[in-house]
Amino acid sequence: MTLLSRELFIKNRLGLHARAAIKLVELAQSFESSITISNGEKSATADSVMGLLMLESAQGQQICVHAEGNDAETALNAVSELIEAGFDEEN
């Protein structure tokens, strides 16, 4: 089983808020791999909107995305693209 991680910055103005968290959860649920987001000492699985909101990730903060499973590379790339694109929101 593959375990990968990548450091990213939250780019969108509102940070990881409810609408962005829902997009991330929907994307994460489309993969077999387990995806975890960490922000400093806080960590949450990417399939929990409440968990993601509890991270309190604001614009400009660095987070770490971890993916573990058979499609970890594909999952990590997809989640990274969503975050890098600012959750497809206008900044």
Contact criterion met (CB below 8 Å) for 89 and 15: no
Question: Is 17 an annotated catalytic residue?
Answer: yes
Which entry of 6, 8, 11, 17 is annotated as an active-site residue?
A: 17
* Cβ-based neighbours of 40, under 8 Å, separated by 6 or more: none
| Other CB atoms within 10 A of residue 23 CB | 15
Which residues are designated catalytic?
17
